Structure 1
Amino acid sequence: MQHFPGPVPQQGQQNPYAQNPAVTGPHQVGPGYGQPGHGEELSSARLLKQSKRAPQSGWRKAVYVATGRLINVGESPAEVRRRELIGRVNQPLRGCYKIAMLSLKGGVGKTTTTTTLGSTFSSLRGDRVIAVDANPDRGTLSQKIPLETTATVRHLLRDAGRIRRYSDIRAYTSQGPSRLEVLASEQDPAVSEAFSEDDYRRTVSLLEHFYNIVLTDCGTGLMHSAMKGVLDVADSLVIVSSGSVDGARSASATLDWLDAHGYRTLVARSVAVINSVRPKSGSVDLDKLAQHFGARCRAVCRIPFDPHLEEGAEIELERLAPETRLALLEMAATVADDFASGPRPRTA
């Protein structure tokens, strides 16, 4: 928009705007604007009484209920912390954010972490979240939620030309109680081995039109044909490690490989997760382990051992221990802190 300046006074003539402060020029405001007693007094913060939030648990809630809601001592520090984490999880997101879940070592809980992270996002955010099984060795991601369809990523790619709307693509996914959707891999290893880089790129290109967050549960082989496609389109990584020495070494080797193959920027945006940490778990110094990953990654999260996750069956967030749910909330908030960075610059 073009701005037209006010009249320029001739030599010896005073500026008419300077003579009377009540007369405003094109880039001036009237007297007292923004001062107390003027427009600011009509803001909601000044007009509405600021009341404490009602407590949601513990003795604070008991007092609140017992007194007929007359005595409100406010939220506990834990409730304030939880609300702050939920706010971070719900940060605005531009376009489709893609997260690759990686580990060179099997059995460290990568698929479980994929499911719990995706479920936490989908249970709190209003947009759509999907997890894709890109494991070439008969992935188990689809076993973590109730199965609604036998369709796989192969069927989706076969019918890609007929998909026009969300209801079309929904026929190929299963959805859990948290609203997380899962796109299963082929269960025949001979077929799934043929899942190529081009296949993965076509899959994500289709999903990003209908979903806001796409998590990819990768296999343990970094040299698998689809892995280049996974890494090239990912906006961030979650590197999953156990609390053991061999698990930590495998996770560190994953970072070494990524650094050596041109993904240093992606590593800098990654989050390391130390999974299934048991109380007093052996002689491994978890603080030093966290420091090691913290020097290479954006952040480090710890997920405690949980009997429900140990079952290896379908995952229900409601059955998790409170400390596990809080740790998952902190992990989701940490990952979401990168949403504001926007899409990562893509490789050629």
Structure 2
Amino acid sequence: MTEPGHWAQAPDYGPAAWPDAGEPGPPEPEAAPVEAAAAAVDPAGPGRPSQSAPGPVAAPRAQDPAPDAAQDPAQDPAPDPEATAAAPATPPAPAPPAPVPPAPSAVVAAPARLGWAADSELSAERLVRRTPRRIFRTVRHRVPDGLTDAIRTPLGRSRRIAVISLKGGVSKTTTTMALGAVLARERSDRVIAIDANPDSGTLGRRVQRQSGATIRDLVAAMPDLHTYMDIRAFTSLAPSGLEVLANDSDPAVSRTFDEQDYRQVVELLSGQYPIVLTDSGTGLLHSTMRGVLELSDQLVVLATPSVDGANSAGITFDWLDAHGFHEEARRAVTVVSGVRSSSSRMIRVDDVVSHFRRRCRAVVTVPYDGHLAVGGEVDPDRMRGRTRAAYYELAAVVAQEFDR
């Protein structure tokens, strides 16, 4: 048995070793093999006829051609003329293939260790059988081309999308970051996400900060901001190309971010960014929410497959209908986010989807993902395939409104 790691004794996987090609033996000398084989078969020694069976000595292997010119006439019986005449003429046996010289151990061992054949004519079946499984996982979760084309719908003007929820902890900020990352990656437009939480938002924690400035600093410097580069000094850029305008998380801040501030910020950003995403707070009665709803072209409402998460999303739609935003609620998109919660009783996702399809334009379900549950930076490449495909579907559904 070959010792593991002993590459010098690895088998030869060249064409000559295939089952249907035959195994060539070592080169045969001219006359010596007959006497040597006879001595091995008949213990009487060379030069005497064998006592077991007369006739020519069999070759060492059945597949090796028998020597013809090197036979000794004294040891072979005379051919029978009648048998010779009766036997049909057979073509001469083909010459044995030239022996393959042993390849260096490094060349032979590498294919044997890796499991690949050394020849260049590897069949498709064997190639598929040896393909790593991770390649098939990538192909299985590849985003359909139709979604990508929908995401790239041309824009006639700047679009404002607000992500809202009456309840916290339902992946509202995560959805804002993931949706913005897909839009920024698949489009050639500038996309920015702003934290409009009137108290203290967490959007700035989901990206590597390149600027310590906040949305309050932008409001204070607004009279001197005229170009994109002036605004860029206040934002942080994610790897996907999404820009983030963070909010203040300092507990010492005494002045709140109100509706007037939000309107000024959105008016300034709409002149430089074709897509503006808003991560709103949870207070529907706050003055900032009034500005978010009135300036938004499209709403994304968050829900979860739990009793309290579904009820909170339902109350959000009820509030929109009761305060004059019925059309906005009808054209909204509901995202059922798979957030694990041990304190909430889970319900069937299909029931939640069926309920909200009667209240809005579309419903998208996003499965639980460990990368997003950590609460750090959002990278679509590190999401599970199903999660990434779900956010691409959400971006495509949102982009359907771009040509209105």
Q: How high is the TM-score relative to the length of structure 2?
A: 0.63
What is the identity, as a one-letter code, of the residue corresponding to 2:319?
W
Is the Cα–Cα contact under 8 Å of residues 185 and 192 in structure 1 kept in the other structure? Answer: no
Matches within 5 A, 1:1-348: 82-189=144-251, 191=253, 194-276=256-338, 284-341=347-404
Deviations 1:193-240 (A, max 9, x none): 521111110000000011011111011100112111110000010001
Q: CA RMSD in A?
A: 2.1
Is the Cα–Cα contact under 8 Å of residues 141 and 389 in structure 2 kept in the other structure? Answer: no
Secondary structure in structure 1 of the residue aligned to 2:271: coil
Shift of 1:277: 5.8
Deviations 1:106-131 (A, max 9, x none): 11110001000000100110000000
- After superposition, the Cα gap between the structure-2 partners of 1:202 and 1:177, relative to the gap in structure 1 and judged at 3 Å, is same
Deviations 1:157-191 (A, max 9, x none): 11111112111100000010001011111213563
Cα distance between partner residues in 2 of 1:250 and 1:192: 29
Cα distance between partner residues in 2 of 1:277 and 1:139: 19
Shift of 1:338: 1.0
Cα distance between partner residues in 1 of 2:295 and 2:251: 24
Structure 2 residue ranges without an equivalent (≥5) = 1-123, 132-138
- Indicate the larger mover: 240-249 or 155-164: 155-164
- Indicate the larger mover: 152-161 or 102-111: 152-161
Structure 1 residue ranges without an equivalent (≥5) = 1-58, 67-75, 342-348
Shift of 1:268: 1.2
Q: Which has the larger radius of gyration?
A: 2
What is the identity, as a one-letter code, of the residue corresponding to 1:247?
G
Cα distance between partner residues in 2 of 1:237 and 1:189: 29
Cα distance between partner residues in 1 of 2:324 and 2:234: 34
Shift of 1:317: 1.3
Equivalent in the alignment of 2:104: none
Identity of aligned residues (%): 48
Q: How high is the TM-score relative to the length of structure 1?
A: 0.73
Secondary structure in structure 2 of the residue aligned to 1:273: strand
Is the Cα–Cα contact under 8 Å of residues 243 and 274 in structure 1 kept in the other structure? Answer: yes
Shift of 1:290: 0.6
Cα distance between partner residues in 2 of 1:201 and 1:77: 44
